[in-house]
Amino acid sequence: MAATIHHVAPHLFLIVLAPPISGFQDFIGAWLIDGPDAVYLVDVGPAATADQLADALADLGVDHLDYICLTHIHIDHAGAVGHLARQFSSTPVVCHPKGTPHIVDPERLWQDTVKTLGETGRAYGRMLPVDPSCIATEKQLASAPFQLLDTPGHSPHHYAIAANGFLFAGEAGGVCLPLPSGDLYLRPATPPRFFLETSLSSIDRLMAARPVALCYGHFGMRKDGMDMLARHREQLLFWNKTLETEAAGGGMDASDFADRWVDLLLAADPLLHGFSQLAPDVRARERGFLLNSVKGFAGYLAGLNRTDL
């Protein structure tokens, strides 16, 4: 399959990648900023779609990149970075310092991904290593036309990237999917290990950047960026209050607690009500991610309980 290219704003393109996984259409994208200060990518998608990305860049006439930026190293965002680093061998790769060792030697990341995601992880494809000489230096970053925001809510190796009023949030602002009706579907991306305070402070850091537009890792752009971040912050607090009540009543005692919590939140959280509008294969994908997110909250709440003893 070929990537789809959307020209969403002056100098800004969303390249929609199509991994060979049912339900993953219109879910993974790479952002291309084509001037005026520099030409660079934010996220590159999985290894399985590296050729799609390369073809899309060729179609856009891009034969040079000033930077290849990663919001974080999860392989749906960074899996093709080794392929791109070979194609653009003189381009510095921007990666959080905590993630850099894992793109230089991705074997542990690959094994952990397969262990966690199973066939989905395998379908993303195996990463190629990035030569250490390709990692951006402090001097190269000093002249970059963007600001790196340390936002470890979704993962400890997470950057959000602010430039010219646009905020490329990765998954620090959750996952927002467009719906045919125009309704909103917004869910937390809070996999284990999750810490509520860290996520809230990350969102506060995003809001301090006062973005005009919010560019999600999943999926697309919203022009009401500040409002979306505020709504997501309240959503995290709502999930915490709701699930804390469930946990206090013995809600984690049964083996199927995560499924029950997902059902509870689908009914109670207005930002999830668009779930029913998703295609069946997309609902299956989203339920899997929702299960992972509530397990992150479960671990957090169990940690609080242990602290209180």
Half-sphere exposure for 218 (CA within 13 Å, toward CB): 23
The confidence score (pLDDT) of residue 305 equals 45
User: In Å, what is the CA distance from 309 to each residue of 147, 168, 303, 304?
Assistant: 42, 40, 10, 9
Question: Helices H, strands E: what count in the chain?
Answer: 11, 13
pLDDT in tens, the chain (309 residues): 889 999 999 999 999 999 999 999 999 999 999 988 899 999 999 999 999 999 999 999 999 999 999 999 999 999 999 999 999 999 999 999 999 999 999 999 999 999 888 999 999 999 999 999 999 999 999 999 999 999 998 999 999 999 999 999 999 999 999 898 888 899 999 998 899 999 999 999 999 999 999 999 999 999 999 999 999 999 999 999 999 998 887 777 777 899 999 999 999 999 999 999 999 999 999 999 999 999 999 999 988 644 432
- H helix intervals, 125-212: 138-142, 196-208
Phi then psi for residue 124, to 5 deg, are: -65, -30
The confidence score (pLDDT) of residue 130 equals 97
Which residues is 177 bridged to in the sheet? 185
Enclosing domain of residue 132:
4-308
**pLDDT tens by residue, 244-302:** 998 887 777 777 899 999 999 999 999 999 999 999 999 999 999 999 999 999 999 98
CB-based contacts of 134: which residues, under 8 Å, 6+ apart?
A: 85, 89, 91, 92, 93
Query: How far apart are alpha carbons 106 and 101 in whole angstroms?
Result: 8
Query: How far apart are alpha carbons 181 and 194 in whole angstroms?
Result: 32
Instruction: Give me the CATH number covering residue 51.
Output: 3.60.15.10
Is residue 238 packed enough to be buried (19+ CB in 10 Å), middle (13-18) or exposed (0-12)? middle
The confidence score (pLDDT) of residue 48 equals 97
Give the angle subtended at the CA of 17 by the CAs of 69 and 91, to the nearest 5°: 25
User: How many separate domains does the chain show?
Assistant: 1
